Amino acid sequence: MIFIMFDPDKTGFVGINDLQTILKSLGRDPEEATELVEDMQLADDRMSFMEFLKIMKALETRLTAKEE
């Protein structure tokens, strides 16, 4: 799973910079990571697995909306 790849220390969190790297690898604008994290109002620059899933779902929703 991609989350585990960016959490090698098994802290249960990944950073915004990791999310930006993931988005780049998917051919997406890495600034989307910043927008989505700001929308979620995270306490710091890290996100838990559940927060990560919510962001991935939001990205999927954005992609679907663009295609329609």
The residue ranges of every structural domain in the chain are 2-61
42-56 residue pLDDT tens: 777 788 999 989 888
The contacts of residue 24 (CB under 8 Å, 6+ apart) are 30
The C-alpha atoms of residue 68 and residue 33 are separated, in whole angstroms, by 22
pLDDT at 40 over 70: yes
- CATH H superfamily, domain 2-61: EF-hand (1.10.238.10)
pTM here is: 0.77
